[in-house]
Every structure is written in C-alpha cells, then in structure tokens.
Structure 1
Amino acid sequence: MTEETEVVVIGGGYAGVTAANRLTQREDVAVTLVNPRPDFVERIRLHQLAGGSDDAVVGYRQVLAERVRLVVGTVTRIDAGERAVRLANGETLGYDYLIYAVGSGSEVPGVPGAAEFAYPLGDLEEAKRLRAALDAAPTASVTVVGAGPSGIETAAELAETGRNVTLACGGALGPYLHTRGRQAVAKRLAKLGVTVLDGPGSKVTAVTRGTVELSDGREIPGEVTVWTAGFGVPDLAANSGLSTDALGRLRTDETLTSVDDSRVVAAGDSAAPSDLPFRMSCQAAGPLGAHAADTVLSRITGDRPAPIELGFAGQCLSLGRRGGLFQFARRNDAATAFYIGGRLGAKVKEIVCSGTVGKLTREAAKPGSLGWAWSKDAERRKAVQAKETGAAQAKRTEPAA
C-alpha cells in the first residue's frame, strides 16, 4: 500500500484554497487546510459588506475539493524541525510539506488615535465591525483614509448609499493608476459626492473620536473613520524562526520554496520570492497558490521545481454598484493609458470578482486546470537574473576564511 504524503496548507484565502485544490491531483497526497474561519471570505468584496450590498462569504464546500480536510483553527507556531504546526487549541498537525498562505491584513497604524478610533477593513471581522458602526449611526459623516483600491472602493460604495464621504488620500489618488485612469476615478467620485483630499498636506497625522487631522493642519469631520492605508502580514513565520522580509513575508527562492527549509513553500501575499514580491492582490494569489502546489508535487515525484513566471493584466476597481474601472497594465504591472470605465467598467469588475470564485470551483472539480502561461513578466525575470549575478559576483570576491 502506497504511503500518503501529508501536506498542510495554512490559510484559506485565494492562494491557500487554490493550492489545496491543486494538490488533489495525486491520490497519494493527503491535504489539510487550516483556516481561522469555517467559510471562505471574498476579500475583494469587503467594501461591499461595509456598504451592505454583499456578505463577502462563500461556503468552503463550494470552492474546496472534497478530498481536502478543513480544520478550523489558528496556527500559533510552525516547528519546521519537527515538521509540525501548533494550533491555538493545543492540537498539533504533522506534515511532510507545508504551504504557507496566511495572506495579509490591516497594517497596525502608527498614527496617534488611529488604533482607538478608526475602523480597519482588512478582514471579515473588521468589515463587520465597520458595518455595525455605520448601522448604528445612519447619518454620520465618513472619512476614509488611504486612496489605494480599498480606500477608493469603500469611499464610492458608502457614498452611493447617500453617506457624506471624505477621502483623505495621503498623497496621490490611486497611485497605481495612469493619469487618465486617475482622472476617470476622480470624476466618478465627484459625481457620487465624495470629497477627495489629495496631494501634499493630505496625510493623516491624528485621529480623534470625531475628527481627522491632516499634515497641513486641516481638521476634518470623522464621525466614522475608515482606515485602509496599508496592509501587513501576520508574524507567524518570523515568530517560528523562518526568514522573512521587512514586512514579514516568508523569504523564498523563485520556486516559492523557503530559503530555510525545502519542505516549506509560500504562496500569495505572504510570499517574498527572491526579495522581489509580487503586488498583493487576488490576481497574483491564484497563480502563486497553484505554483506552490506544483512545487510540492514536483518535490514529491523527485522532479526539479520550476521558477515562478507571472505577469499582470491590470487592476480593476468598483466605484459603487453602477460604476467601475479596469486599468490596463503591462505585464510588469506598470499602468498604461488604456482603461475601461463607467457601467462597462462595473460589469468587468463584477465578472472578475465572480470569476475568482469560479476559478476556485473549477480547480476543485478539475485540479491542475488553472493556467497562466500567457502572463510572463520579462522585466521581473531580468531583475531576478541581475540579483543572482550580483550575489554570485559578491560571493567570488569574498575574502577567504
């Protein structure tokens, strides 16, 4: 009888679920997915939960292969030496291979008063707390801090419900966007009645119970303040003695294998391959999760894992339920002048959101089906090669011991 290979996946987001499903290609691989919640969270819909148009939750049985064992719990430590993970309830799970897909969440703000008086929006529980605060104050003005995708989408979603919304950008509106795309977003936000405070002086320096202070001295109403400025990564890897980058992402090689342990593979927002991590996004999470699974499957069969090759197509934003924008980009993730806006942009955004769940469902039914061969970033490949060449040259010039 063939002995099974035990693979534990930590994290049940886009990357973790994709990885777990893909691993079921082999009958002799036993897959356990550990996640703190019993349901899959559509993180790209959390702003909709805040606005009341979606619950942002899908049952795991819809997106997870039947052969994947789901353990609802929180991993508190990885013991790489013993090949085991420790759970908060005292349980221990052994593994032959581990996929680290813990994702990202709200960054702990260092701005005075932000932790006490602002509502972050990085996970399901935070979004529910914000929704409750909004329900308790139906006429309260809202200040959204941060003008990345989460900030823009949240400001638009709440303004469309009739809220008085101010968006404090802390710099440029939508830094990722091309100038043309940014102008389209600004036009839509203005139509929704959102007051956009951008450029120099718009950085938030303090938050109180009812106000937000800006770096240029302005003080604006903030009866409900939403904090979307920045995301952080759980400190599980660092606390477990594994090498991480400055943000806490697990440092890996190009196959997504930990630089410390060939039995540990990373995926999604919590991976830092070659110290050149991909943009945190569900667009990257799916392929990274699939590639992490492929790396593990290659090691099981004794084959050499392939390096990750992944490029981007752009970024899509919802601007309320009746507007949206798809910002096209080159494969190196640099925005171009082309975009789709208006109602068609909203339809494209919804297709993308629905498609992410669809891809998970398809991978569960037909593991190995997800492909992204069309999407390769030649610029990143050159950057990786340059780092490798530089490291090799530095090693050759090191003085002898």
Structure 2
Amino acid sequence: MTKQIEAVVIGGGYAGVMAANRLTKRADVAVTLINPRAFFVERIRLHQLVGGSDDAVVDYEHVLADGVRLVVDAADRIDADQRMVTLVSGAAVSYDYLVYAVGSGTDEQQVPGLEFAYPLNSLEEAERLRSIVDNVQSVIVVGAGPAGIETAAELAGAGRPVPAGGGRPVTAEERRSVEAGGGRRVTLVCGGELGPYLHASGRRTVAARLEELGVQIVDGPGTAVAAVTRDAVQLADGRELPSELTIWTAGFGVPDLAVRSGLSTDALGRLLTDETLTSVDDERIVAAGDSAAPSGLSFRMGCQSAVQLGPQAAETVLNRIAGKKPADVGVGFAGQCISLGRDSGIFQFAHRNDVAISLHLRGRFGAKVKEMVCKSTVWQLRTEGRHPRVMKWWTKDGKRPRLVRDARVVSRQA
C-alpha cells in the first residue's frame, strides 16, 4: 500500500481553506487543517456581527472538502527539522509538507493605552463589541480603511436588517437592535486620509455617504492617534476626543508563530518566501495569505489575495510531490468593495496591480455588489472543496515580475 503523504495547513481562514481543499486533488495526500475554532469565520462580515445584522460564521462542513481532517487547536511551535507542529493542547502533528496560513490580527504595540480600545480583527473581538455596543451612545472608530469605514457606517445607520448567517431570518430583537443604531453618535478618526486606497472620486462618495449617516470624519494632518485612555482618544495635534467606546481597526499584525519557530520573517513577522511561496529556510514549508511575504513584497492583506494565494501555495506542494518545478505566484486585483450601512456601498475598481482608478459603483447597487462579493467568496471556498483545481480564472498582475527583479537589484546593491 502506498504511504500517505501528510500535508498540514495551519490556519482555517480564506487562504488556509483554499489550500486545504486544493491539496485533496491527490488521493495519496492526507490533509489536516489546524484551526482554533470549529467553524469558518467570514472576517469580511465582522462589522455586521458588531451591528447585529449577521453572525459572520459558516460551518466548515459547508466549505471544506470531505477529505480534510479538522483539528480544533492552535499551533504553538513548528519544528522544521523534525517536521512537527506542536499544539497549544500539548499534542503534536507531523507533516511532510506544511502550509503556513495563520492570517493576521491587531498590531497591539502601536500606541500607548491601546488596552482601553476594542480591536476588531477576530470573531471573539467582534462578539465582545456586540455585547456592549448597544449600551453606548457615543463611539469613536479609529482607522479609515475598509474595516473602519464599514464599522462606522454600520453603527451610525438605522439600516434595514438583512438575514443573518446561513439564511436565518433576523429576530424581532435583532431588528430592534439594528434600528437602534440611528441615534448613536459615531466619529471616524482617520489618522490621515479617509480611505487611502480609494481614488479621489471614490473617496468623495464615501465621505458624502458617511456624512449622510451622521458620522463625524476626523481626517487630515495631525489626526494620527497618539494615545488612548479609558474615556478619550488623544490625537497627534494635541486634540482630545471624548470617547465612551473606542473601536480600533487601524493597522495589522501577524501571529509570531514563525518567529518563535526560528523561521525567517519580514519586519512585521510574515514568513519570508520566494516567488513560489516556499519558505527561504525550508522547501517543505510554504505560506499563503496575510502571513506570507513572497520576495519581501507582500500583497494587500485581505480575502481577495488570500483566495488566490491559498490554491497557489497548495500547487507548489503538489508540484514538489510530483517532482515538478513550482510556478511563480500570480495574483491580480479587481478593486475594493466597502459597505456603507445596510443600504449603500461602493465598489472601487482598480488596475490588476492594485492601484485604484476613477471608476466606481455606489449606492444601493454598490451594496448589492458588496453582498454578492461576500457570498461569492464563500461560494469559491465551497466550489474548490467540491471540485479541487476548478478555480483558475483570477487575473494576474503582469507588473510584479519587474518589481521583484528591481527589488533583487536593490538588495544586491545594499
């Protein structure tokens, strides 16, 4: 009987699920997914969980291939020499190939007093906010990226409730909870420019919608947060904004698992890889998603890159098993979509190299596109689980190879 090849994926987010599903293409590969939760978290819906209009979770049986073994635990250390992952529970999982897809979270070292703010990068953080947000009338949201904008709009609007996760109708209590948001005062502290990714025309659309919802926008020079206290946010220009509740969506950090395991990382802690997503330390370890730093030139963090990097990390593993040369990574972007309350949104179009253009969709149609993107992301995971290697239609950024070459030249000259 042919010996099974053990492939282990650490992290059950968008990249990890796509990688695990793709690996099931080979019958002689036994796939194990290690994740601290027993269900998949729709991270792009966390602001809806806070606002009470979605639960932001999906059963793994809905998105994982039947052949994937789920281990509900967290990885504590990777022993590359022994090809072993030690878990927080004390158990250990051996591997022949490892996909490192641990995702990202809040950078907890950004400013003094951050312990007084409520981060919003995980299910537990969103649930914690959900339990208290209806009891406050004044909220400051720090961070003017998609998460900050969406959270501010969700909490400010008296939006129309939508069905909760899995198609379950909202209850009367949930409906009242969402509608109660209309009287809440919300301030969005940008720390610079509102929606820095957006084209100027898209930024004007977002600003107009936030103002319509009653969100106070604090942007421009001097609006970086210098410190957070129990009841205020202090800005770099000296202003102090009273805050009954501070929600922190600014800046990402990554788990320190790679660092603790003695693997090479970039300054943020992302695993350093070549263009095939293979660790620079060990060809048996590949990375995908927010925790990967291919050639030191990471892609924008988010599900749009994760659902592309996951399958390609798996393909690198499958090619090595087959004795073939792995292909270089190819990722392309379509833009950025942001919900602006329950009835409005924006889809900002971009070049494939992730630079925004003037074209964007807005209003109710923008909201419909945003919801379609959220649903289609889960559909992509499920489709890959049922038919591995079907997902191939992503566009690629043709400019990346030149960026990589230029970076290598600069590195050699340094």
- Asked whether the two chains share a fold, i.e. TM above 0.5, the reply is yes
Aligned pairs for 1:1-400 within 5 A: 1-115=1-115, 117-135=116-134, 137=135, 139-160=136-157, 161-162=181-182, 163-373=184-394, 375-389=395-409
Label 1:372 to 1:274 Cα distance change in 2 as closer, same or farther (>3 A): farther
1:111-154 CA-to-partner distances (Å, cap 9, x unmatched) read 22222x1100010111111111213x1x4200001101110000
Q: How many residues align?
A: 390
Shift of 1:377: 1.1
The TM-score, its normalising length taken from structure 2, stands at 0.92
Amino acid at match of 1:196: I
1:168-208 deviation digits (Å, cap 9, x = unpaired): 10100000000000000000000000000000121111222
Q: Shift of residue 259 of structure 1?
A: 0.2
For residue 244 of structure 1, give the secondary structure of its aligned residue in structure 2.
coil
Rounded Cα–Cα distance in structure 2 between residues aligned with 1:383 and 1:255: 15
Where in structure 2 are there 5+ consecutive unaligned residues? Answer: 158-180
Deviation at 1:394, TM superposition (A): 5.4
Separation in 2, partners of 1:105, 1:208 = 21
Query: What percent of counterpart residues are identical?
Result: 64
Say if 1:133 and 1:224, in contact at 8 Å, map to a contact too.
no
Shift of 1:386: 2.4
Could you tell me which amino acid in structure 2 is paired with residue 150 of structure 1? A
- Counterpart CA distance in 1 for 2:73 and 2:288 is 19
- For the residue of structure 1 that corresponds to 2:399, the secondary structure is helix
Distance in 2 of aligned mates of 1:249 and 1:209: 32
- Does the residue aligned with 2:338 lie in a helix, a strand or coil? strand
Cα drift, residue 389 of structure 1: 4.8
Is the 1:144–1:151 Cα contact (8 Å) retained in structure 2? yes
Equivalent AA in structure 1 for residue 19 of structure 2: A
The alignment yields a C-alpha RMSD, in angstroms, of 1.2
TM-score normalised per structure 1: 0.95
Instruction: Quote the Cα distance in structure 1 between the aligned partners of 2:141 and 2:410.
Output: 43
- Structure 2 counterpart of 1:129, one-letter code: R
Per-residue deviation at 1:221?
A: 2.1
The amino acid that maps onto 1:144 is V
